[in-house]
Structure 1
Amino acid sequence: MSAVRIGTREVGPGLPVYTVAEIGINHNGDVGIAKRLIDIAAQVGADAVKFQKRTPEIATPPEMRDTRRETPWGEMTYLDYRYRVEFGLDEYQEIDRYCTELGLAWFASPWDVPSVDFLEKFDVVCHKVASASVTDRELLAALRDTGRPVILSTGMSTMDEIDAAVEVLGTERLVLLHATSTYPCPPEEANLRTIHTLAERFGVPVGYSGHERGLQVSVAAVALGACMVERHVTLDRTMWGSDQAASLEPDGLRRLVRDIRTVETALGDGVKRVFPGEQAPRRRLRRT
């Protein structure tokens, strides 16, 4: 299985886990909040931050557009809400500049073809396919044609749907993420052994995109071989927004990155040996 190069990093089995702090839309349309979340990701040692990019009039389902929604900015239609939280060129230029200053990679999940074209204005390290877009063949083809690495989340997808998506994308620059699109995800739906299933089936690096509360499941994914871990990050889980409750607060993200690095070290190389720290007990305790 070949590693996939994302920015300055190689991602694959036996390599350091690539950690992604998903900001998504947890910025609530405020670039100041986005920059605070970028700061947190950089401080805890995450490898990248991720956003979501939509063209609201395309990405919003027609039956949802006129639905009224209560928001912190008053009642509005769902389409108006999508516009309210969407970043444009000015905001992404600021994000690009800020991440570059901090030495932090960034990328996004485009939800439609114009959003792919928008992100291509920046030197993003890769593109991400959200689980909701696995069956959007037009979008998949546009992402493939950029020539950039693609990360494909597999939540709420059947194996046949994943097969079809991989057929469009190809496997040369592909990373798959096992995911369960329940927010928050209970442990009994995490199904982490699927990491092995996907790796064996497709022969590409496989990671984990988690939506659970807490850290245990994400850390266990690393022990099972996940080469990338993505978790949503927020300033406060009680903030308004659909992804906030299943996100990690700053200290949670710090502990996750710390624990991932500890597990990486603890996994070792699989070669049985007597370690230096065992020599004294060996001499003291062995009778024969």
Structure 2
Amino acid sequence: MSIFIIGEIGINHNGDLDITKKLIDGAAEAGADAVKFQKRTIDNVYTKEFLDSPRESPWGTTQREQKEGLEFGLEEYRQIDAYCREKGIEWFASAWDLDAQDFLHGFDLKHDKVASAMLTNTPLLEKIAAKGRHTFISTGMHTMDEIAKAVEIFRKADCPFELMHCVSTYPMADEDANLRVMETLRERFGCNVGYSGHEVGLTVSVAAAALGASSIERHITLDRAMYGSDQAASVEMGGFNRLCRMIRTVEKALGSPEKQIGEKEQAIRKKLAPVNG
């Protein structure tokens, strides 16, 4: 089974469809399988007090103006949907509230995503699982018992899923990756396990692929110096292209668990075999 590679656009588009299309172009050219966004209903996710509080941003001086500046609506997602189909790449998104999930269910998508922060939001998980789309479930910031409760919801609904090992620091230090948890999750829950990374470099993600990740998700950006809270934990498009190539190389190199002597090696064996062997 091929590793499913996801370019996480998230909110790195900064509310700009031109930036979004360039990120989709880059992900498609790199050979990624999908791009992913984040969808919020602002007044459901945040309190009025928080939204009215001050925050300087390119869109104004309040938290509301900043949050609304980063949020795409129906027309933008219709354009994203059409553009991804044109480019031959899938898209999906992680919802942060029930209305946002209803919004996403209005599109003919193959996948859903549970963001780490939403792992214990039982009504949201039940809504996602009831739809029955293959769901990627990120596990950052949560205990094994909390993960088990989420898994139970998806198994009860007979909804296909895979877990994604994740460490929710932005950016994540390489030494905090704890990739061996991937095997722990596989053994405990008997399911595929991917990796959602927030590190700066590429090595940890390549290592996750070598350890059997079923999916790899990385935030992507046009420029890590751009405005935005996720930009510093993202990979620029040149790096993402290299990452996709390395993951595909790892897939080929992993091969089969069966010990084999191929035609090329047979020829060398014949050449180097001892005379009286």
The answer to whether the superposition gives a TM-score over 0.5 is yes
In the alignment, is residue 21 of structure 1 matched against residue 18 of structure 2? Answer: no
Rounded Cα–Cα distance in structure 2 between residues aligned with 1:232 and 1:27: 11
Q: CA deviation at 1:215?
A: 0.8
Q: CA deviation at 1:58?
A: 1.1
- Picking from 36, 39, 54, the partner of 2:40 is 54
- Picking from 191, 194, 200, the partner of 1:204 is 191
TM-score by length of 1: 0.91
> Would you say the 8 A contact 2:132–2:159 is kept in 1?
no
Q: Which residue does 1:4 correspond to in 2?
A: none
Rounded Cα–Cα distance in structure 2 between residues aligned with 1:60 and 1:177: 26
Structure having the higher helix fraction is: 2
Q: Structure 1 residues 172 and 117 mapped into 2: Cα distance closer, same or farther (>3 Å)?
A: closer
Residue identity over aligned pairs, in percent, reads 55
User: Which is further off, 160-169 or 248-257?
Assistant: 160-169
**Deviation sequence 1:39-64 (CA, Å, 0-9, x none):** 11111111000000000111125663
Rounded Cα–Cα distance in structure 1 between residues aligned with 2:208 and 2:48: 37
Q: Which residue does 1:34 correspond to in 2?
A: 20
SS of aligned partner of 1:213: coil
- Picking from 126, 145, 152, the partner of 2:111 is 126
Q: Please, which runs of 5 or more residues in structure 1 have no aligned partner?
A: 1-14
SS of aligned partner of 2:235: coil
SS of aligned partner of 1:106: strand
SS of aligned partner of 2:226: coil
Q: Which residue does 2:31 correspond to in 1?
A: 45
In the alignment, is residue 258 of structure 1 matched against residue 245 of structure 2? Answer: yes
Q: CA deviation at 1:271?
A: 1.6
Q: Which residue does 1:108 correspond to in 2?
A: 93
Q: CA deviation at 1:255?
A: 0.6
Report the number of matched residues. 273
Rounded Cα–Cα distance in structure 1 between residues aligned with 2:135 and 2:208: 20
Rounded Cα–Cα distance in structure 2 between residues aligned with 1:206 and 1:212: 18
- Picking from 194, 201, 207, the partner of 2:181 is 194
Q: Structure 1 residues 62 and 196 mapped into 2: Cα distance closer, same or farther (>3 Å)?
A: farther
CA RMSD after TM alignment: 1.4
Q: Which residue does 1:147 correspond to in 2?
A: 132
Rounded Cα–Cα distance in structure 2 between residues aligned with 1:66 and 1:239: 25
Q: How does 1:75-94 map to 2 (within 5 A)?
A: 76-94=61-79
- Picking from 225, 239, 248, the partner of 2:226 is 239
SS of aligned partner of 1:229: strand
Q: Please, which runs of 5 or more residues in structure 2 have no aligned partner?
A: none
